[in-house]
Amino acid sequence: MTNLSYIQQHDKAWLTFLEQIDRVSPFLEDLKEHIDILRRPKRVLIVDVPIVMDDGSIRHFEGYRVQHSLTRGPGKGGIRYHPNVDLNEVMALSAWMTIKTAVLNLPFGGAKGGVRVDPKSLSPRELERLTRRYTSEIAHIIGPQKDIPAPDVGTNQNVMGWIMDTYSSGQGHTVTGVVTGKPVHLGGSLGRIKATGRGVYITGCAIAKKINLPILGAKIAVQGLGNVGGEAARLFQEAGAIITSIQDHTGTIHHPEGIDIPKLLDYLQHAAGVAGFEGAQVISNDDFWTTDMDIFIPAALEGQITVERAQNIKAKLILEGANGPTYIEADDILTQRNIIVVPDVVCNSGGVTVSYFEWVQDMASFFWSEEEINQRLDKLMVQVVDDVWNMANQHLCSLRTAAYILACRRILTARKERGVFPG
């Protein structure tokens, strides 16, 4: 993907969210008078992040933290390190987090952060310096009762540990609840790393059951084999599905009888991507979109399902493991073709759900077993699928529109009942 196409996707991200809000407006009745609050982020912070490089030079990076809505509780959302991070993208991601936490009925609002940097170009010490300086620049607007960051593209549990330590140093005591997705021995939760992928699997199975699509023998294509796509693929394969095609930034591989996911995940521990894996055939990236599949899991970056791809894709069910992978126009085509899409705000919400569990555990200083975490996660994910499915049947609309109806009603009801200060 060229930098230009990546930036163009970001330019559309915020516009996509605004159009999603416009589409749900007719279903909100008297709450429509409050809908403008969703079209405007509550707070936008742009910061300069200067760091001393290993060679002694000083470089400056641009960082962001956007709090889209704090109506239902503190902000919640990841921090992304990527060379093409921009404000448009971060605004859209924060807004989708607002919807996601509301559809799950978690006591959070939506937020997102990022730094425009290629983390792979930094040494470990430079990455730590960047993280600590960025944390110091946004420290006044984050906190366990204000805004709770988490890992995202280009960040991980180690980065969260540095954020927690830097923030705690400024407070004079350890504040484990300032971030989620931390190492377990720093107050992190068991099951957090695999939670998003598990959520994709649980919601996928729940919807497949409703549309009479057997998981046993189902052909599945996956785009992106990181924490999300990898765990979802592993769980579906264990349930008897056949993972036939996988695409990542290095290329596309295909095997009609199924790719051995455990072997591939082991291979990726030491390889740059899937393209060199010997247990499958390399095919072109374009051919990936027309392979035989029953279920498609986009688990990479936003803006992957274009109009052309939506016209040709053969899946019966699409599980959005990534944020914003489907363009609005493409979404309409999928609906016309009777392809069921489980939207990102439902499908990939396992991560924020276990982040909520982590936050609760940190606040109480009482921790649960991984089995307890998974039981709570599975129960909540099945419930949200039922809620959204019933809403879609009630209004004869797509699952995405149904999710937005449910979420926007909760957000705007809370806003209405809080009132506007000063009155």
Return the CATH number at 251: 3.40.50.720
pLDDT tens string 268-311: 999 989 998 999 999 999 999 999 999 999 999 788 999 999 99
**Residue 84 resides in a domain:** yes
Q: Do the domain assignments include residue 394?
A: no
User: Residue type at 332?
Assistant: D
140 and 261 inside one domain? no
Q: Of 301, 322, 347, which closes a domain?
A: 347
- Is 344 a residue whose pLDDT tops 60? yes
Q: What is the pLDDT of residue 11?
A: 62
* Residue 303 pLDDT: 85
Same domain, 229 and 340: yes
Please report which confidence band the pLDDT of residue 220 belongs to, taking 50, 70 and 90 as the band edges. Answer: very high
Say which CATH number the domain at 69 has: 3.40.50.10860
User: What distance lies between CA 286 and its chain's CA centroid?
Assistant: 25
- The answer as to whether 216 is a domain residue is yes
- For the chain, give the mean pLDDT: 94
Task: Say if residue 287 is in the same domain as residue 150.
Answer: no
Do 139 and 76 belong to one domain?
yes
Dump pLDDT digits (tens) for 307-340: 999 999 999 999 999 988 999 999 999 999 999 9
Same domain, 149 and 238: no
Residue 362 lies in a domain: no
**pLDDT at res. 323:** 87
- What average pLDDT does range 137-141 have in this prediction? 98
125 versus 324: the higher-pLDDT residue is 125
pLDDT the model gives residue 153: 86
Would you say residue 8 has pLDDT above 60? no
Angle at 25 between CA 19 and CA 29, to 5 degrees: 175
pLDDT of 2 strictly over 70:
no
The predicted pLDDT at position 3 comes to 46
| SS3 per-residue string spanning the chain | CCHHHHHHHHHHHHHHHHHHHHHHHHHCHHHHHHHHHHHCCCEEEEEEEEEECCCCCEEEEEEEEEEEECCCCCEEEEEEEECCCCHHHHHHHHHHHHHHHHHCCCCCCEEEEEEECCHHHCCHHHHHHHHHHHHHHHHHHCECCCEEEEECCCCCHHHHHHHHHHHHHHHCCCCHHHCCCCCHHHCCCCCHHHHHHHHHHHHHHHHHHHCCCCCCCCEEEEECCCHHHHHHHHHHHHCCCEEEEEEECCEEEECCCCCCHHHHHHHHCCCCCHHHCCCCEEECHHHHCCCCCCEEEECCCCCCECHHHHHHCCCCEEECCCCCCECHHHHHHHHHCCCEEECHHHHCCHHHHHHHHHHHHHHHCCCCCHHHHHHHHHHHHHHHHHHHHHHHHHHCCCHHHHHHHHHHHHHHHHHHHHCCCCC
- Domains of the chain: total: 2
Question: Average of pLDDT values for 199-212?
Answer: 98
Q: Any idea which residue has 């760091």 for tokens? A: 51
Residues 55 and 199 grouped into a single domain:
no
User: Is 112 an annotated catalytic residue?
Assistant: yes
Q: How confident is the model at residue 400 (pLDDT cuts 50, 70, 90)?
A: very high
Structural domain ending residue among the three candidates 347, 379, 404: 347
With contact defined as beta carbons under 8 Å apart, do 162 and 342 qualify? no
Residue type, 197: G
> Are 339 and 246 in a shared domain?
yes
205 and 251 part of one domain: yes
Is 300 within a domain? yes
What is the predicted pLDDT for the residue at 423?
Answer: 74
Please compute the mean of the pLDDT values over residues 35-55 and round it to a whole number.
97
Degrees to nearest 5, angle at CA 302 with 92 and 235: 120
**Per-residue pLDDT for 141 more than 80?**
yes
State which of 347, 365, 398 marks the end of a domain. 347
**Do 274 and 328 share a domain, yes or no?**
yes
**C-alpha to C-alpha distance for 185 and 161, rounded to whole angstroms:** 10
Q: Would the pLDDT of 5 be above 60?
A: no
Whether 104 and 349 have beta carbons less than 8 Å apart is answered as yes
Residue 382 lies in a domain: no
Report if residue 409 sits inside a domain.
Answer: no
Residue 155 lies in a domain: yes
How far apart CA 89 and CA 86 sit, in angstroms, is: 6
Q: Are residues 167 and 200 in the same domain?
A: no
Task: Provide the pLDDT for residue 6.
Answer: 44
pLDDT for the residue numbered 302: 80
68-83 average pLDDT score? 97
Is the pLDDT reported for residue 125 higher than 70? yes
Task: Tell me the pLDDT band of 1, cut-offs 50, 70 and 90.
Answer: very low
Q: Which domain holds residue 244?
A: 195-347
Catalytic site residue from 12, 76, 112, 316: 112
270 and 338 fall within a common domain: yes
Which pLDDT value is given to residue 301?
79
C-alpha dihedral (194, 196, 199, 201), degrees to nearest 10: -70
Task: Say if residues 16 and 327 touch (Cβ distance below 8 Å).
Answer: yes
Strands 317-319 and 340-342: parallel
- In a 13 Å sphere around the CA of 36, the CA atoms on its Cβ side amount to 2
pTM for this entry: 0.91
Overall residue count recorded for the chain in this entry: 423
- Give the model's pLDDT for residue 324: 86
| Percent residues over pLDDT 90 in the chain | 92
Number of Cβ within a 10 Å radius of residue 307: 13
Same domain for 211 and 337, yes or no, is yes
